[in-house]
Amino acid sequence: MKPIKETTDQQISKFKYGYCGICCEKCFAFKNGKIKHHSKKLKGYLGNFDIYAKRFTSLLNEPKFEKYTDFKLMLDFFSDVNCEGCRITECQLYENCQVKDCIKNKNIDFCFQCTEFPCKRTGFDEHLEQRWIKINKKLKEIGLEKFHSETKNISRY
């Protein structure tokens, strides 16, 4: 099967999508994604809020502020991840993913182009496997450009 032709719809390219068909750009681990961007912005807006969170716990009688440290840990994590997607580097989210090597050996762009799709050689858990199948079936049905157009404003999670 021939690789998918690059499209120009809003600079959409297969590089925004992993070999598995999942949109890397929407992943919390993606270096140039919105989650990282907004997390960094929120960190900036919050500044030294740690001090206020402690005060607001008693001042406002609001125990939720006791959890600010946990929230900040997640925000720090979202702000610091730097995955570039599996087409450029190794995926930093799914260490057990076997899709990249399989796809490269077959000289195709996405799993749905493989004659063996769907298979059990992904390394995904049950939930991710179901999403992978659904996404690839849709990609096969309508193509990358239309799929991107239909899903670009939908949250990944």
Q: Is the backbone peptide bond immediately before 118 cis, with ω within 30 degrees of 0?
A: yes
Rounded Cα distance, 123 and 112, in Å: 16
Q: What value does the mean pLDDT take over residues 18-31?
A: 91
Q: How confident is the model at residue 16 (pLDDT cuts 50, 70, 90)?
A: confident
Q: Check pLDDT > 90 for residue 37.
A: yes
Q: What is the pTM of this model?
A: 0.79
Instruction: Note the pLDDT of residue 73.
Output: 97
Q: How confident is the model at residue 92 (pLDDT cuts 50, 70, 90)?
A: confident
Q: Is the backbone peptide bond immediately before 63 cis, with ω within 30 degrees of 0?
A: no
**Please, are residues 40 and 34 in contact by the beta-carbon 8 Å criterion?**
no
User: In Å, what is the CA distance from 103 to each residue of 42, 75, 94?
Assistant: 38, 34, 16
Q: Check pLDDT > 70 for residue 12.
A: no
Q: What value does the mean pLDDT take over residues 102-111?
A: 90
